[in-house]
A and B are shown apart, each in its own frame.
Chain A
């Protein structure tokens, strides 16, 4: 379970302070598939980065299960990112000098997994993604859809509970994007992963179980599941 308690994110730009998140509180339950949707500049990516331990809030607390991660050391955050969270980015963010296989192996190297296991698991993950013929290709030799699938395989390398995706279909055409979202649905259903997707596109958000709306750094729609269920009951 992921919880944020009244988190703020402010950047100092010379003399001016830029506040991107204004006291955001939310709860994401374990095993749920959530979309965070909002227009450009709404702070959704910043929120995702903080939830994903890539960044820390200027104020407020973030909890990953019982562990508070808002004020821990860089090394601890790195460990969390490596072991418990898998990232998927809009621009894929693969290392251009490494092959598909090596890209997927990389997170496991950082966790000290032994070589044989690393290679086996990477091959399995890429095969699951339908890329068994692409092990030794470099990213620049592959299509956008293939690259994103490598990125997803990489995100799964250390078998994290949580997958965090920032506009995963943003650089893909709609049919490829659909395939990617179906992979996420599968990961959610079959492997019981917690999946958090940030998007501006309602179609993409529609794949998720629930959507959190964010605008100007604030959650608009009331998020807590209880209230949502009540609301839905009311509308029925």
Chain B
């Protein structure tokens, strides 16, 4: 409608009349939208990174770890192990096809005169290599998988890049006095921590570290024909049984996880984070809206005479309401635009910072929907904030308004 365009013109003119006041008015909305956009896009990015990792894990795979998944802190602190009895109990559970115990330990590794502490994984190549390749998505970019019996290991992506720059296939590394050949370099495993590990056959691992027993992680492959949940339950039952029988010992609890369960957990955590973000951002936006309302009241007051003039030349009450509503909507809109630009800038900055230093390969998620939503939402907030002032403007009597000095 041609009329709306004219009203928009009038609205923009009056916004430009006092730019300082306009900018100050918009700050509240800018901050609120900035919070929403930057944190939302980052949280989407985190979720995306996590999901990508999960996707590398097949859905016929179950991971058993010591510690309660609900008590993440204690679990992450490390030092917990599953015993050999635990491992046997898992293997016996119905529906379990193969199990691959994995152990890891940090050790001092020497390469070409440099000594660094690196996490070393021990996995049975014989049993586990297929599982690692097919279900966990392990792939080599250079070199070959280690040959059984030979003192060989593979390194993950970040080892030759960050830890021992210049390391190549064929180099020798020394751990606790024993030498190993670097047989191959892995493609990225999805997160910085995993990409900073060395992996060798379990037997070699036991030789080097002296860790004879137990495992830090057990991966179980499901027999075809069995449901994941069913097998999870079976494993849990078996472990509980086995522990009951060893009641004298103090054993840590355990978690049996399928990829589904993990993505559920991730989903829940993300939902809580998102709710918190919305909570804080809403407060900022409400404050911003109040700022707009205040400015609109002032604006109406400053333009009482103009309103009288418009009414004198034929503007109806609802026209006046529309004009001021559009103006306050634009406060919201431009505030939202500013917030979006800042939010996207911050998200990109965070992405860059995390990628170079952090643990996850994070990508800020910026969709057109997010931007459109942000703009529409801010315009809407502006209109709501301006509603009462606009109504009071429309109710002014022309004669009184014209008389106002």
Q: What is the interface of chain A, defined by CB distance below 8 A to chain B?
A: 49, 54-55, 74-75, 78-79, 81-83, 87, 89, 93-98, 102, 105-107, 109-112, 114-115, 154, 157-158
Contacts and interface: CB of A to CB of B under 8 A. Distances in A.
Minimum-distance CB pairs A-B, first 8: A82-B314, A107-B313, A110-B314, A78-B316, A97-B13, A109-B6, A55-B399, A93-B309
Given A55-B399, A98-B10, 14 more contacts: A54-B402, A55-B398, A74-B316, A75-B316, A78-B316, A78-B317, A79-B314, A93-B402, A94-B309, A97-B10, A98-B13, A112-B2, A112-B3, A158-B314
Nearest to A82: B314
Nearest to B314: A82
Prevailing SS type, chain B contact patch: helix
Given A49-B399, A54-B398, A112-B3, A95 B309 contact: yes
B6 A81 contact: no
27 contacts: A54-B398, A54-B399, A75-B317, A75-B318, A78-B311, A78-B317, A79-B316, A81-B311, A81-B313, A81-B398, A82-B315, A87-B313, A93-B308, A93-B312, A97-B13, A97-B17, A98-B10, A98-B13, A102-B9, A107-B314, A110-B313, A110-B314, A110-B316, A110-B319, A111-B314, A115-B2, A115-B5
Tell me which of B305, B313, B315, B318 has the highest count of chain A C-beta atoms within 10 A of its own C-beta: B313
Contact of A106 (B17, B313, B402): B313
B135 interface: no
B306 interface: yes
B300 to A, nearest CB: 15
Contacts of A111: 314
Given A55-B399, A112-B3, A114-B2, A82 B13 contact: no
Nearest to B399: A55
A114 B1 CA distance: 9
A105 B14 CA distance: 18
Interface of B: 2-3, 5-6, 9-10, 13-14, 17, 305-306, 308-319, 397-399, 402
Contacts of A157: 313
Contacts of B402: 54, 89, 93
Nearest to A92: B309
A235 to B, nearest CB: 39
Contact of B313 (A49, A112, A114, A154): A154
A115 B4 CA distance: 12
A96 B310 CA distance: 12
Nearest to B2: A115
A107 B309 CA distance: 10
Nearest to A75: B316
A97 B14 contact: yes
A83 B317 contact: no
A110 B305 contact: no
A79 B397 CA distance: 15
Contacts of B6: 105-106, 109
Contacts of B315: 78, 82, 110
A2 B3 CA distance: 31
Contacts of B5: 115
A74 B310 CA distance: 14
A226 B99 CA distance: 117
Contacts of B318: 75
Nearest to B398: A54
